[in-house]
Amino acid sequence: MSLMASSSILVLCSAFSADASDPVIDLPDVVVKPAVTPDVMAFDLSPSVAQDHIHLDPTVFHIDRSLPEVMQAFPGVQVQKTGHGQGSPFLRGFTGQRTVLLVDGIRFDDTVFREGPVQYWNTLDPESFAEILFSPGLRSASAGSGAIGGVVELISSRPDPSSVWGGALRGRFSSAERSSGGRLQLSGGDGAIGLECAVNLRSFGDLRTGQGVQTQSGYGTSGLDFRLAWNSGGVDWTVGHDRSRVDDAWRTHSTIYGQSFEGTMIGSDLRRVLDHRRERSILTGSSRDPGALDHLSWTFSRQFQSESRDRVRADGRRDVQGFDLVGIGFSVRAEKDNWSFGLDSLSSRADSERLNFAPDGSFLGASIQGPVGDDSGRDLVEGFVAKSQSLSSGFESHVAARWSSSRVFADRVADPASDAVLSMDSSLDGLSTSAGLRWTSSKRPATTLEGRISTGVRLPNLADFTRFDVARSDEVEVPAFGLDPEEFVGVEASIREQRHSLSWLFTAYFTAIDGMITRRPTGDVIDGGTAVTKQNAGDGRMFGFEGSLTWSPSPNLKWRTQFSAQRGDVATFPTSEDVSVNEPISRLTPALLTSTVRWLPHGAPWHLEGRVRWSDLQDRLSTRDRADTQRIPEGGTPGWTVLDLGWGVPLDHESSIGIALENVFNVNYRRHGSGVNEPGRNLVFRFEQSF
């Protein structure tokens, strides 16, 4: 606690000492604003040379079947897949609760996110967005509670009222995934109002891996979205709605249909299937002339999430459980001179249930709660301020602070010891800060050095306090009251060189962990699984490096390599005894490297790509990793090397295609911590036709 407080004071003192009359510094090129987001985005509040972005081009490799897989285009990102329809990106060693996802500036509601990997990012179709922004590292001051591993922002295109009417049809087909699907989009305007609307539909069959077909791994997705944009009274308005479904996504590794990998065990369930629904509605206003301010924007939002899980155990017992979550959000953001400030709020309410059935199908009754407490919710309110400053001799500073406050409550929580009905109500708050200093030499303007110190908090959510459900293989997580905020202190240093034909970026980072909420066995057995509770026992550290190198020896040839490695350990309780030991952080990301060459023949419109993906052996395992025998082989997850080839061509100004042969040599491999193998040799065809 003293480390967190001291660091916060240091950051704030350095933050606000500069003269407010100095001009605002230019933000890095990665910050673009083609979208419905407020013009003051999380990336503006604490810009970094380590930020990255990708435009979603259907002719290149990184347009994958799901949002988590698209994230693999960024250095250091590892995607864990519990099932083929469930993926969770690890950002600098953290995932789920300890990352923040923004969708057009709106926090993706994480009220019910459990500890560890979650499947909810898979409910967002990457085809629905124009760009993805990624800022790795401790970003709680700019993005909010829980942005420990990093923040990701999805950017939608904004309808242009002056555009002519037209549309686009995109498609993707894959052999190993046995998938087909696409997106049909229409857009245009009448001079006053712009409209963009689209529908998505995809079907995935049983996955063919390097060792054969993984049965019961297929699923389906569908979605629609629309946006209207207009200007009235000097205010740019945008209203939008989008919704999506993920149907019949199996958690295959826990069932008898699981595929053993390097000796992993196969589950005993006869069925474990998840369905998801998601909706989002927004109203955004933005004014460039709001009186005394330079800029003012505001957003109202409503989010809805629904999850249903159908499980049949080996003895025929069946339970159907799930939740409905509704979140109402409001954000206001403003700029004045070189200051940015504002308020974010999200008020969420959850209904949760579980229905139990005997092997003969007869109804046994409803449980007190589903996966989280019933009649429950969270109110999260955050206020922030940020300042960018040009200093002398090529120095620039970026500082930010955010106060986060939450109330979590539940009227119906099951007591694991007595089956009594409990209730809980907890109010918590915390301060996150960030201070960065950037230097560009006047003699060597191609070189930029940057250092940053940040403090961050993660306020416990509804799942931390009330979750009563399967945690990992053969574990049952039980409710735990009395939790405190997690606290983190991070330092990072980056160097970037940008020359005519060569550019590179290298970042080293260290994150100190104080009171991270970790699971520990209670010694009890519930429904055949080891009961685990939670407490603020995880003191530890995470450190590593990541970088990229891009070389263009000619206008027709481009080579890019990105790499990362990390280590981390945290205090854990391997058994129910009150004995703490330091162990590797669970599911620690192995060393990764991706190298891509793109060749554009002179005078030809098409391009060729070759890509090598490599992952090291990960044998740094915690006690709970070693016990996760359905997903992690004994001795760790083997390393792997995969070759991909691709060809892309714009046929004309209205159409383009891309063809890729992924995993050319049909390597049988699995990403660390996953419950399903990766696709084997995979022919992927993508196209886009405008009209």
Domain residue spans in the chain?
2-690
DSSP state for residue 617 in the 8-state scheme = -
Please give the pLDDT value at position 16. 40
At residue 3, does pLDDT exceed 50? no
Nearest to 344 by CA among 404, 389, 292: 404
In order of 83, 545, 679, the CA distances from 624 in angstroms are 19, 26, 27
Confidence class for position 47, pLDDT limits 50, 70, 90? confident
Confidence class for position 58, pLDDT limits 50, 70, 90? low
HSE (CB half, 13 Å, CA atoms) of 451?
Answer: 3
Please give the pLDDT value at position 60. 56
Any residues with CB less than 8 A from the CB of 2 and at least 6 apart, and which? none
Q: Are 546 and 523 in contact (CB under 8 A)?
A: no
Q: Are 303 and 326 in contact (CB under 8 A)?
A: yes
In angstroms, the CA 36 to CA 106 distance is 10
At residue 20, does pLDDT exceed 50? no
Instruction: Name the more confident of 11 and 169.
Output: 169
At residue 229, does pLDDT exceed 50? yes
For the chain, how are helix, strand and coil distributed in percent, rounded to 5?
A: 10, 55, 35
- How confident is the model over 474-486, as pLDDT tens digits? 789 999 999 999 9
Instruction: Name the more confident of 3 and 563.
Output: 563
**Cα torsion through 416, 421, 425, 431, rounded to 10:** 20
At residue 633, does pLDDT exceed 60? yes
Pairing between strand 100-103 and 86-90?
Answer: unpaired
Please give the pLDDT value at position 290. 83
Instruction: Name the more confident of 344 and 442.
Output: 344
Pairing between strand 421-440 and 374-390?
Answer: unpaired
Please give the pLDDT value at position 540. 97
- 10 Å Cβ neighbour count for 72? 19
In angstroms, the CA 171 to CA 314 distance is 40
Please give the pLDDT value at position 143. 94
Tokens of 365: 């009754």
In angstroms, the CA 47 to CA 26 distance is 10
HSE (CB half, 13 Å, CA atoms) of 578?
Answer: 0
In angstroms, the CA 105 to CA 125 distance is 17
End-to-end CA distance of the chain: 59
- How confident is the model over 247-268, as pLDDT tens digits? 999 999 999 999 999 999 999 9
For range 495-520, the mean pLDDT? 95
- Least confident among 5-9, 367-371, 661-665: 5-9
Confidence class for position 63, pLDDT limits 50, 70, 90? low
Q: Are 287 and 295 in contact (CB under 8 A)?
A: yes
HSE (CB half, 13 Å, CA atoms) of 276?
Answer: 22
Please give the pLDDT value at position 37. 43
In angstroms, the CA 288 to CA 296 distance is 7
What residue type is assigned to position 365 of the chain? G
Backbone angles phi, psi at 122, to 5 degrees: -70, -10
DSSP state for residue 315 in the 8-state scheme = T
For range 502-524, the mean pLDDT? 95
In angstroms, the CA 187 to CA 199 distance is 12
Q: Are 156 and 36 in contact (CB under 8 A)?
A: yes
Nearest to 612 by CA among 635, 645, 579: 645
What residue type is assigned to position 486 of the chain? E
Instruction: Name the more confident of 35 and 481.
Output: 481
**What homologous superfamily is domain 2-690 in, according to CATH?**
TonB-dependent receptor, beta-barrel domain (2.40.170.20)
Confidence class for position 5, pLDDT limits 50, 70, 90? very low
Tokens of 446: 């191609």
- Across the chain, mean pLDDT equals 90
Instruction: Name the more confident of 41 and 523.
Output: 523
Confidence class for position 32, pLDDT limits 50, 70, 90? very low
Nearest to 400 by CA among 386, 414, 412: 386
Please give the pLDDT value at position 130. 85
In angstroms, the CA 140 to CA 155 distance is 20
Please give the pLDDT value at position 474. 78
Tokens of 636: 């760790």
Please give the pLDDT value at position 18. 39
Write down the number of H helices and E strands in the chain: 6, 35
- 10 Å Cβ neighbour count for 683? 12
- How confident is the model over 324-337, as pLDDT tens digits? 999 999 999 999 99
In angstroms, the CA 433 to CA 453 distance is 8
In angstroms, the CA 608 to CA 180 distance is 23
Nearest to 342 by CA among 294, 383, 283: 383
Q: Where are the alpha helices (DSSP H) in 343-488?
A: 462-466
For range 231-236, the mean pLDDT? 91
Q: Where are the alpha helices (DSSP H) in 38-93?
A: 42-45, 67-70
Please give the pLDDT value at position 443. 81
Please give the pLDDT value at position 651. 83
Scanning the structure block, which residue is given the tokens 């499947």? 119
DSSP state for residue 331 in the 8-state scheme = E
Backbone angles phi, psi at 393, to 5 degrees: 60, 40
Nearest to 359 by CA among 312, 308, 310, 321: 312
Please give the pLDDT value at position 27. 29
Please give the pLDDT value at position 517. 96
Facing residues of 408 across strands? 378, 426
- Least confident among 63-72, 86-95, 200-209, 303-312: 63-72
Confidence class for position 61, pLDDT limits 50, 70, 90? low
